[in-house]
């Protein structure tokens, strides 16, 4: 009986260890200051995903690459999912969406020397401006329907550099992302570029899991449960305060 009890205890410990050691590999792009390979804890969004999963006994590993490739690789099932993406109807065929984490404010950035009065998309459509986009990013509803000439590149840093060098005229981007890039990665152009209002869209960020992975439905249920626990705690607010510093707006 003693040996049987020891065997049962060993089995329970082994089961507990295997559950706590469950591990998935997610893919991500660099999207400062929200998530990036060179940020502390890889950014606020990555830390939210990490801690929400940890509450459910799941550890994550994150591989970084340009967004277009990350989207393709996760769609193909080569990774369990993407750390963060915006909602897009076309992606529902390939991905499960989590509950929202927090929202980006999407605005238009332009060169300070370029005059532009912007109130609505009809007014924008009457211009001949060139629109700089990042490959794979979902765009605010109505923006592409303006018929503006679009030029797509691989990264946020690249598209802002093109804006500063007069190769595109407008860039739709998250306000914090644009300000961070200009102040931290492209300071030589910070005085030359500004954002304009109104805000085009409040766009929530979601964890997305590939439907190619048979574990995705269960993992998404567990993530959403962990996210609810995290958001109800002080830890969620502490992550945002510690890892999401707002760049100084010096317009």
Average pLDDT over the chain reads 90
Q: Do 92 and 211 fall within a single domain?
A: yes
* DSSP state at residue 248: P
Angle, CA of 175, 178 and 183, to the nearest 5°: 120
Residue 250 has pLDDT above 70, yes or no: no
Cα gap 161→166, rounded to integer Å: 9
Q: Do 90 and 170 fall within a single domain?
A: no
pLDDT at 248: 57
Residue 140 lies in a domain: yes
Residue 117 lies in a domain: yes
Cα gap 181→86, rounded to integer Å: 20
Q: Do 68 and 153 fall within a single domain?
A: no
Reported in sequence order, the residue ranges of 70-178 that DSSP labels E, i.e. its strands, are: 81-85, 95-97, 103-111, 130-134, 149-153, 170-174
* DSSP state at residue 35: B
Q: Do 97 and 142 fall within a single domain?
A: no
CATH of the domain at 133: 3.40.190.10
Where does the pLDDT of residue 232 fall: very low under 50, low under 70, confident under 90, or very high at 90 and above? Answer: very high
Q: Do 224 and 197 fall within a single domain?
A: no
Q: Do 150 and 181 fall within a single domain?
A: yes
pLDDT at 21: 57
For 126-176, the pLDDT digits (tens) are: 898 999 999 989 999 999 999 999 999 999 999 999 999 999 999 999 999
Q: Do 191 and 125 fall within a single domain?
A: yes
Cα gap 172→137, rounded to integer Å: 10
Q: Do 6 and 71 fall within a single domain?
A: yes
Residue 145 lies in a domain: yes
Q: Do 92 and 174 fall within a single domain?
A: no
For 42-90, the pLDDT digits (tens) are: 999 999 999 999 999 999 999 999 999 999 999 999 999 999 999 989 8
3-state secondary structure of 232: coil
pLDDT at 6: 39
**Total domains present in the chain:** 2
Q: Do 97 and 118 fall within a single domain?
A: no
Residue 184 has pLDDT above 70, yes or no: yes
Q: DSSP labels for 50-89?
A: HHHHHTTTEEEEEEE--HHHHHHHHHTTSSSEEEEE---G
Domain enclosing residue 234, as ranges: 2-102+205-243
Residue 249 lies in a domain: no
Q: Do 192 and 210 fall within a single domain?
A: no
Half-sphere exposure (CA, 13 Å, Cβ side) for 83?
29
CB of 175 closer than 8 Å to CB of 169: no
Residue 250 lies in a domain: no
Buried/exposed 42-67: b ≥16 CB within 10 Å, e otherwise: bbbbbbbbbbbbebbebebebebbbb
CB of 208 closer than 8 Å to CB of 45: no
Residue 191 lies in a domain: yes
Residue 159 lies in a domain: yes
Residue 62 lies in a domain: yes
Half-sphere exposure (CA, 13 Å, Cβ side) for 44?
23
Q: Do 92 and 27 fall within a single domain?
A: yes
């Amino acid at each position: 009986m003693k040996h049987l009890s020891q065997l049962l205890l060993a089995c329970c410990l082994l089961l507990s260890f295997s559950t706590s050691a469950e591990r998935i590999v997610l893919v991500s792009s660099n999207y400062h200051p929200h998530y990036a390979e060179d940020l502390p804890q890889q950014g606020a969004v990555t830390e939210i995903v990490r801690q929400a999963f940890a509450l459910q006994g799941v550890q994550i590993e994150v591989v970084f690459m340009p967004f277009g490739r990350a989207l393709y690789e996760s769609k193909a099932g080569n990774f369990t999912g993407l750390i963060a993406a915006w909602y897009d109807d076309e992606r529902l065929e390939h991905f499960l969406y989590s509950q929202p984490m927090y929202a980006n404010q999407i605005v238009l950035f332009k060169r300070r020397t370029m005059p532009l009065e912007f109130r609505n998309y009809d007014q924008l459509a009457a211009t001949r401006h060139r629109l700089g986009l990042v490959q794979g990013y979902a765009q605010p509803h109505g923006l592409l329907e303006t018929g503006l000439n679009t030029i797509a590149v691989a990264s946020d840093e690249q598209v802002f550099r093109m804006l500063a060098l007069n190769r595109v005229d407008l860039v739709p981007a998250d306000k914090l992302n644009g300000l961070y890039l200009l102040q931290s990665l492209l300071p030589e152009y910070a005085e030359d570029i500004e954002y304009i209002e109104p805000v085009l869209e409040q766009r929530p960020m979601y964890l997305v899991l590939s439907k190619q992975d048979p574990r995705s439905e269960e993992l998404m249920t567990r993530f959403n449960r962990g996210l609810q626990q995290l958001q109800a705690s002080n830890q969620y607010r502490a992550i945002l305060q510690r890892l999401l510093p707002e760049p100084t707006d010096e317009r």
